[in-house]
Amino acid sequence: MSSPDLRTLEPKALWNCFADLNAVPRPSKREERVVGFVLGFAARNGIEAQLDTAGNVIIKKPASADRQGHPPVIIQAHLDMVHKAGDGVKFDFDKQGIDMWVDGDWVRARGTTLGADNGLGVAAILAVLASKDLSHPPIEALFTLDEEQGMGGALGLQPGVLTGKTMLNLDSEEDDTFTIGCAGGIDTLGHYEYTEVAHDSAAPLVSIQITGLRGGHSGLQIHEGRANANKLMTRLLHACGEDVAALSTMRGGSARNAIPAQCVAQVVVLNQSQFDERFQREAAGIRAEFSLIEPGLSIITTPVTVESATVQTMSSEQQKALVLAMQALVNGVYRMSPVVPGLVEASSNFSTIALGGGKAEWSSLQRSSVESSKLDVAAAFRAPFELIGAHVRSGDPYPGWSPSATSPILDKMKTIYRELFGHEVQVGACHAGLECGVISMAYPDLDMISFGPNIHEAHSEKECASISSTQKFWKLLTATLASL
- Catalytic residues, which ones? 80, 147
Position 470, amino acid: T
311 phi and psi angles, rounded to 5 deg = -120, 135
342: left (phi over 0), alpha (psi -120 to 50) or beta: left
* 261 neighbors 211 (Cβ within 8 angstroms): yes
- Please give the Cα distance from 149 to 185 (Å, whole number): 11
Identity of the amino acid at 183: A
**End-to-end Cα separation, the chain, in angstroms:** 37
Tell me phi and psi for residue 156, to 5 degrees.
Answer: -90, 0
- Quote the DSSP letter at residue 76: E
Q: How far apart are CA 479 and CA 484, in angstroms?
A: 9
With vertex at residue 156, the alpha carbon angle to CA 153 and CA 158, rounded to the nearest 5 degrees, is: 125
Contacting residues for 197 by C-beta, under 8 A, at least 6 apart:
246, 312, 313, 314, 315, 316
Phi, psi of 180 (to 5 degrees): -125, 15
Measure Cα distances from 336 to 330, 368, 427 in Å: 14, 10, 18
Are 449 and 409 spatial neighbours (Cβ–Cβ below 8 Å)? Answer: yes
- The C-alpha atoms of residue 472 and residue 124 are separated, in whole angstroms, by 12
| Residue 444: partners with Cβ closer than 8 Å, 6 or more residues away | none
CA gap 35, 96 in Å, rounded: 17
Question: Which H/E stretch holds residue 179?
Answer: strand 177-182
Q: Are the C-beta atoms of 183 and 367 separated by less than 8 Å?
A: yes
The pair phi, psi for residue 368, each rounded to 5°, is -165, 150
CA 263 to chain centre: 18
